[in-house]
């Protein structure tokens, strides 16, 4: 079953707590990204864990292997249930982070970012990354899986190929989700909650379509209603 992760892309702990208290009855997972974590730090994760939520700390680490391994350790030690790093950091970086942290946090989900959902073909061309976004996602995911990652962040367009290539146990975490009629914003590779769920997304990540809705609770309920049971 596909789980909903709501992206808490707000400026302050107070704003985040207000949203969480409204959505909390419906939503089990919240994502804390660079905007909120840079402003508030570990207090935000502490607040979410105290209230009993699962936390995806989306800091997309990308650095030398030792630094990423230690950053993942810090993220897990403050209570994150899911953390991520860029697959383009390479196998050694991923393997070091996984091997260093898996023994102490066996249930943590260690996830590699493949190609950002805001990137289309033109970004890959600009960066001289070979092939289509799907080609690159599959390549980066294979590297991440071999290095021990539990899954990847990708767009819904790549779910089918990823599950076929790497099996149903390899998790796919899917942002770039847009309910019918909602603003696309800066996302490029998008699908609806229902499409992503039908394709086998383990998690969908939804930010602005819920957080910026006139009625965020109704928007979250509408997304949840689209997910396959």
Ligand X SMILES: O=c1ccn([C@@H]2O[C@H](COP(=O)(O)O)[C@@H](O)[C@H]2O)c(=O)[nH]1
Residues marked active site are found at: 58, 60, 63
| Torsions phi, psi for 202 (to 5 deg) | -75, -40
9 is an annotated ligand-binding site residue = yes
Q: Give me the sign of the Cα torsion angle 169, 175, 50, 44.
A: positive
User: In the set 92, 125, 185, 215, which binds ligand X (CB under 6 A)?
Assistant: 185
Spell 8-41 as b/e; 16+ CB within 10 A means b.
bbbeebeebbebbeebbeebebbbbbeebbeebe
Taking the complex as a whole, the smallest distance from the CB of residue 29 to ligand X amounts, in Å, to 12
Q: Give residues 137-176 in contact with ligand X (rule: CB under 6 A).
A: 153, 175-176
Residue with tokens 């071999």: 146
User: If binding is defined by CB under 6 A, does position 133 make contact with ligand X?
Assistant: no
Residue whose C-beta lies closest to ligand X: 207
Tell me the closest approach of the beta carbon of residue 135 to ligand X, in angstroms.
16
Count of residues that interact with ligand X, criterion CB under 6 A: 17
Reference 177, options 161, 154, 143, 160; nearest CA is 154
86 is in an annotated binding site: no
The site for ligand X (CB under 6 A) is made up of 7, 9, 33, 113, 116-118, 153, 175-176, 185, 187, 205-209
């Amino acid at each position: 079953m596909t789980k909903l992760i709501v992206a808490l892309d707000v400026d302050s702990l107070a704003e985040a707590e207000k949203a969480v208290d409204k959505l909390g009855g419906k939503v089990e997972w919240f994502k804390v990204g660079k905007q909120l974590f840079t402003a508030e730090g570990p207090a935000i994760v502490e607040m979410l864990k105290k209230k009993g939520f699962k936390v995806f700390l989306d800091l997309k680490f990308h650095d030398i292997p030792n630094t990423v391994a230690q950053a993942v350790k810090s993220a897990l030690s403050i209570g994150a249930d899911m953390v991520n790093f860029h697959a383009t950091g390479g196998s050694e970086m991923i393997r070091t982070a996984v091997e260093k942290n898996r023994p102490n946090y066996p249930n943590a989900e260690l996830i590699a970012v493949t190609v950002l959902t805001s990137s289309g073909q033109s970004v890959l061309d600009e960066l001289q990354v070979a092939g289509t976004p799907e080609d690159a996602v599959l390549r980066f995911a294979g590297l991440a899986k071999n290095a021990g990652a539990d899954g990847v962040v990708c767009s819904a367009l790549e779910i089918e190929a990823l599950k076929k290539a790497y099996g149903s146990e390899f998790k796919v975490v899917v942002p770039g989700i847009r309910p019918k009629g909602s603003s696309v914003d800066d996302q490029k590779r998008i699908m609806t909650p229902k499409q992503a769920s039908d394709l086998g997304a383990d998690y969908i990540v939804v930010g602005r379509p819920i957080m910026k809705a006139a009625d965020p609770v109704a928007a979250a309920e509408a997304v949840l209603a689209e997910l396959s049971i």
